Amino acid sequence: MKKSNLLNKLFDKQHKKQTVSYLIVIFAYVILEALLKTGNISSLFKNLLVPCTCYIVAALALNLCVGLSGELSLGHAGFMSIGAFTAVCLSGLLAGTLTNAVLRLVIVIIIGAAVSAFFGFLIGIPVLKLQGDYLAIVTLAFCQIIVSLINNVYFGFDEKGLQFSFIENKLNLSSSGKILIGGPIGASGTQRISTFTVGIVLIIISLIVIYNLMDSRNGRAIMAARDNRIAALSVGIDVTRTKMLAFVISAALAGAAGALYGLNFSTLTPAKFGFNQSILLLVYVVLGGLGNITGTIISASVLYVLPELLRSFESYRMIIYSLVLIGIMLISNNKFFKEKLAELKTRRFNRTHSKEAE
Amino acid sequence: MAEAVKQPLPVLVIGGSMVFLSYLITGIGLGSVYAIIALGYSMVYGIAKMLNFAHGDVIMIGAYVAFFALSRYNLPAVAAVLLAIAVCTTLGVLIERLAYKPLRQATSLSVLITAIGVSYFLQNMAQLLWSSSPKIFSSIVGNRSLTLFDGKMSIAYINILTIITCIVIMIVLTLFINNTKIGRAMRACSEDKDAAKLMGINVNKTISITFAIGSGLAAIASVLLCSTYPSVYPTLGSMPGIKAFTAAVFGGIGSIPGAFVGGLLLGIIENLSKAYISTQLSDAIVFAVLIIVLLIKPTGILGKKVNEKV
């Protein structure tokens, strides 16, 4: 009896979508893990698994910001880079003391997310006062600033302690020392400790965070502020505060994704997190559907894995991406299409209601 | 000032001030290019209320057209510039017709994403057609420069040409906006589209004309930009495009003198920080300035405050 109650609750109208997203992730994990264990997976595909989870988390983070909060951010790659380089540095520093790789990974991801959230807060103070296009361009500016700052950071350590220099490489490390960030070269010689399982856990955590936020009072305030700012203000919602909440959580998730990403590669340049990366995330979110969480997961995984498998079409892929982006916007704003969609919705609504009446 | 003239200054200071002056003039040259690009942004934003992200990539296309006209077909400079203007104007109108016009009633988020899509499309198309390796642009006035004060200071001719072009464009455009029928229609559309429509103004045509003018200016800017920084590559336009938008916001978006002032200031700030602070950090400084301006005065230096309507 109790069990069926739980099942009912999981598949009722309110929670159906959420349950589906969780099930998709768990199902994908079980299948992929089984394939990995039995060795039925090519090494090329195997290498794509961890970055794919990172992109899913980052896309979820961006969807929280763009889809749910309605603020277009073109700087989420910047948050990823903060998370990534924080994680790489900390992991390098902790490598000697903390030998358990998984524990170190978890700690480093948490700190990476926290640092990114802090920057999200700092950036949010000026940015969230603005609206629409201004916000987009300022987040873009912040992303450029972050990347160009990391491009000029030199950071390393040896037995005497930490060394840091800016703009010029003035590091004077002993032979046993290690450079963690080398300016434009970025991080190199990173110990690759990211695992697929941690990536999946991170996706699940992001889902829990986002779904709980959506169901909460704050989440409803966020969506109200998105749909009509003035109406939200007039019913006493502190719009800047709610938007800040969404923005900071989004930054933290993007930072966590970046941390996992950074520790998956032995070398990582700051240029990797430029404008193009932000656009890529935006494409995932838009194609998955703004505000649609399950859609984001599917579109991010398909769009990340598919082009990597079709490397030879590299130059065409970007053209196709851009055309699809324009096409989706044109179709979804087309009057004829909109009317058809509305018609379909009312028909479905009528059908379910007539069923209930019976 | 008067005292400074009386006292004989040490040679070092004179040398220093000359160096400063030449950095300043290079900055004004760069700023003039930004101002011309910013005009395109600002006019389109003022009328269509959209951020035309693809504006920077129209510059890139203009640069390629001018490059091929000059280097491959050996056309004279004037013909190359005219050809670039013709191509960019057509491209601008075409983009507006195909991608932005169907979205007149859509949310600004959809329009912005479409504009990003167009920008991405142009960049990748250019990469596919002309490869991503940079091409060397030969300056339309050569690499000569004007020497002043017994060789203590030199100004590149292209800088002088850029500054003069910018001033001429500003004057012509201001006269055009204020005194012609189309100019008045443009102002009316930027104030209130529905009211303009009721007054018998063809709003769609006016927006198309605005895009045409903005794109034509982008072509001029592309030639001037590539004569100063002589390499042409597919992502050439994105940085100047973003900086010009910064300039437009800086000066007050939607305002022509604002774009001029914002562009010049931005060029000067960028060049001086390149010279005196750090070359690598100059972009970061420019963007930091944008953020500070938006914090202190979100409508920009010469912008008007618009009250929110419910």
Residue spans per domain, chain B: 15-296
Adjacent-strand bridge partners of B153: B148
Please identify every stretch of chain B with a pLDDT value under 70, giving residue numbers as ranges.
Answer: 1-16, 142-143, 149-152, 303-310
CA of B29 vs chain A CAs: smallest distance (Å): 23
- State residue B12's pLDDT score: 43
Distance CA(B7)–CA(A220), nearest Å, equals 70
Residue A246 burial by CB count (10 A; 0-12/13-18/19+): exposed, middle or buried? buried
Average pLDDT over residues A270-282: 84
Tokens (6 digits) for B268:
């000067």
pLDDT in tens, B266-300: 999 988 888 888 777 888 888 888 888 777 777 77
Q: What percent of chain A has pLDDT over 90?
A: 20
Among A195, A200, A209, A226, which Cα is nearest to A293's?
A209
User: DSSP assignment, residue B255?
Assistant: -
Tokens (6 digits) for A12:
């009722």
Asked if ipTM goes beyond 0.90, one says no
pLDDT in tens, A163-212: 777 777 766 666 667 777 777 777 777 778 888 889 999 999 999 999 99
Domain assignment of residue A357, yes or no: no
CA of A56 vs chain B CAs: smallest distance (Å): 20
Q: What are the distances in angstroms from CA A134 to CA A72, B243, B295? A: 9, 13, 11
Q: Do A332 and B110 touch (CB under 8 A)?
A: yes
Domain assignment of residue A326, yes or no: no
Distance CA(B207)–CA(A109), nearest Å, equals 49
Among A319, A58, A46, A303, which Cα is nearest to A195's?
A46
- State residue A118's pLDDT score: 94
pLDDT in tens, A59-111: 999 999 988 888 888 889 999 999 999 998 888 888 777 778 888 889 999 99
Is B109 in the A-facing interface, judged by CB distances under 8 Å?
A: yes
Instruction: Using DSSP, state whether A154 is helix, strand or coil.
Output: strand
Q: Give CA A300 to chain center in angstroms.
A: 10
Distance CA(B1)–CA(A176), nearest Å, equals 59
Residue A315 burial by CB count (10 A; 0-12/13-18/19+): exposed, middle or buried? middle
Distance CA(A206)–CA(A200), nearest Å, equals 10
Q: Are A154 and A170 in contact (CB under 8 A)?
A: yes
Q: What percent of chain A has pLDDT over 70?
A: 88
Distance CA(A235)–CA(B146), nearest Å, equals 65
CA of A289 vs chain B CAs: smallest distance (Å): 12
Nearest 5°: the CA angle B105, B111, B115 is 145
Q: Are B288 and B40 in contact (CB under 8 A)?
A: no
SS3 content of chain A, % helix, strand, coil (to 5): 75, 5, 20
Q: Give CA A33 to chain center in angstroms.
A: 22
Q: In which region does residue A209 sit, left (phi positive, over 0), alpha (psi from -120 to 50) or beta (all else)? A: alpha
- Concatenate the DSSP letters of all residues of B205-253 into one string: HHHHHHHHHHHHHHHHHHHHHHHHS-EE-TTTTHHHHHHHHHHHHHH-T
Between strands B135-136 and B153-156, the pairing is unpaired
Distance CA(B73)–CA(A297), nearest Å, equals 50
Q: Which residues of A touch B114 (CB under 8 A)?
A: 325-326, 329-330
Q: In which region does residue A73 sit, left (phi positive, over 0), alpha (psi from -120 to 50) or beta (all else)? A: beta
Q: Domain B15-296 belongs to what architecture?
A: Orthogonal Bundle (1.10)
Tokens (6 digits) for A111:
């700190």
* Domain limits for position A295: 17-309
Distance CA(A315)–CA(B277), nearest Å, equals 38
Q: Are B228 and B26 in contact (CB under 8 A)?
A: no
Taken as a whole, chain A contains a residue count of 358
- State residue A128's pLDDT score: 77
**Which residue is closest to B127 within chain A, CA to CA?**
A315
Question: How many other β-carbons are positioned within 10 Å of the β-carbon of residue B144?
Answer: 11
Among A338, A284, A340, which Cα is nearest to B113's?
A284
Best of A62, A129, A133 to mutate (most B CBs within 10 Å, chain B): A133
User: DSSP assignment, residue A70?
Assistant: -
Q: Count up the domains in chain A and report the number.
A: 1
- State residue A321's pLDDT score: 77
Q: Kindly provide the b/e burial profile for residues B94-105, where b requires at least 16 CB atoms within 10 angstroms of the residue's own CB.
A: ebbeebbebbee
Nearest 5°: the CA angle B69, B72, B76 is 45
Domain assignment of residue A331, yes or no: no
Q: Collect all residues from A whose CB is shorter than 8 A from any CB in B.
A: 66, 70, 72, 126, 129-130, 132-134, 136-138, 140-142, 144-145, 148-149, 151-152, 167, 230, 275, 279, 282, 286, 290, 315-316, 318-319, 321-323, 325-326, 329-330, 332-334
- State residue A358's pLDDT score: 54
Domain assignment of residue A332, yes or no: no
Return the beta strands (E) in B88-165 as ranges. 135-136, 145-148, 153-156
Closest residue to B278, CB basis, from A141, A167, A275: A167
Task: Pick A322 or A217 by higher pLDDT.
Answer: A217
